[in-house]
Copies of this chain bind each other. A is one copy, B any other.
């Protein structure tokens, strides 16, 4: 749009035009990132990373331009504010916050960071494959150094790490997290110990074997369809590290990974990413062409993936309905297994090294370890070179096991290669949000458990659309949970849920 044209537009129209542009850049970059993770050829990565850096910079420039500053100043004036719609008011507030934050970052530093993290992901993949932490540590050092610069520029909130947390969960602090994680620890560690001492171990032998990939794919698609995932507004692909990405409301993609010797990995991975995708597919179309058409926080996002994966997907009712289907997909492989046996088998609690393979209970311990390490990196200047040692010590203390090598230790997660420090707590927040939401859902939808046990997953999806999905970023995370349950986020719902579930499974 040329200057001549914009002169005739109102500040609000010009603002919406710029927001639309920023959203378009995000969408295009989303396609390119998806492509890089689903099979873009190796020899093109270097130039592609440069191009991604350049495009991100353009988008960054738009969001930090003097023009944007002037438009926001105008739209924040009380007179104009009063005339704004709810959507526009929230859009102005959200954009103002981003503007304040981004204006403090020199564009060249931002670009350097984008190129760096884009290359670091490939470097991390290679390092993980070759168990070569030393090869990855130079990237990690640079990423951490730039994040430190960002924190300096943004201003430290109580502690440096608080500044990062706020990016993923607006308003969340280390004080609050320390409290929530403390409460979880107080109830979940004893529970895990009781389980470890229980003599009622579930049988998991039927989960061993080789499971045909095409059949795994078919079954995953069947579940996604029943969840209400719209294949005309998305697609399912394969990638080494499963993810979901909302490019637009009409294009929300998920990936999964099929392991021939593990039927549960792709299955629960797909339901997890499917939960993320339901969120992004069901945002109110009125928010399209704005930066509000995405999830409101990583914690709320993870609440949806983990609610569908665990509270729904690992429930007895769910498998009462779907085990016969699963058996049909793998003839002869699960003969004689009952729904109850299957349910117990997929819910076995077992301290393990890999977060994404962890059970619902010990999963939170994996998250706490990462949270503590991230705090050490940013608040206590832990040297990145010492990460393997710290990592292994913490696993030994919290879970009683130590990785044999860094690939199954400190190198296991993609997050740090992308600079996502402060993201990990979202997973446990998601578990807590999810349990709190489901507590309400069960009361509002009195037949919910029967519906799930009948494969009727749409009533839950519709309720969540009404309560969460439709709003996108229009409501803050705290508003979402308060509106649903009348209370702020609490740890007790997750603890109650896990205690009830595992006491029953382990006959405690």
Q: Which residues of B contact A107 (CB under 8 A)?
A: 2
With A24-B55, A35-B35, A55-B24 already in contact, the answer to whether A288 and B47 are too (CB < 8 A) is yes
Q: Which residues of B contact A39 (CB under 8 A)?
A: 235
Q: How many copies does the complex hold?
A: 2
- Pick the contact of A251 from B5, B25, B43, B233 — CB < 8 Å? B43
Q: Which residues of B contact A233 (CB under 8 A)?
A: 41-44
Q: Which residues of B contact A27 (CB under 8 A)?
A: 47-48, 51
A95 within 8 A of B: no
Q: Which residues of B contact A5 (CB under 8 A)?
A: 108
Q: Which residues of B contact A253 (CB under 8 A)?
A: 41
A32 within 8 A of B: yes
In the complex, what residue of chain B is closest to A281 when comparing beta carbons?
Answer: B43
Q: Which residues of B contact A231 (CB under 8 A)?
A: 41
> How many A residues touch B, CB cutoff 8 Å?
43
Whether the Cβ atoms of B41 and A24 lie closer than 8 Å is: no
Give CA–CA (A250, B45) in the complex, Å. 8
Q: How far is the CB of A454 from chain B (nearest CB, A)?
A: 28
In the complex, what residue of chain B is closest to A288 when comparing beta carbons?
Answer: B47
A31 within 8 A of B: yes
Using an 8 Å CB-CB cutoff, how does the interface string of A259-301 with B read, 1 for contact, 0 for none?
0000000000000000000000000000011000000000000
- Pick the contact of A43 from B32, B46, B47, B232 — CB < 8 Å? B232
Q: Which residues of B contact A289 (CB under 8 A)?
A: 47
Using an 8 Å CB-CB cutoff, how does the interface string of A18-48 with B read, 1 for contact, 0 for none?
0001001101100110110001111111111
Whether the Cβ atoms of B108 and A2 lie closer than 8 Å is: yes
Q: How far is the CB of A241 from chain B (nearest CB, A)?
A: 19
Q: Which residues of A contact B (CB under 8 A)?
A: 2, 5, 21, 24-25, 27-28, 31-32, 34-35, 39-48, 50-52, 54-55, 58, 107-108, 230-235, 247-251, 253, 288-289
Minimum-distance CB pairs A-B, first 10: A44-B251, A43-B250, A44-B250, A24-B51, A43-B233, A47-B248, A24-B54, A27-B51, A41-B251, A42-B232
Known: A31-B32, A43-B251, A47-B288; 11 extra A-B contacts, CB below 8 A, are A24-B55, A27-B51, A39-B235, A41-B232, A42-B250, A43-B232, A43-B249, A43-B250, A44-B250, A44-B251, A58-B58
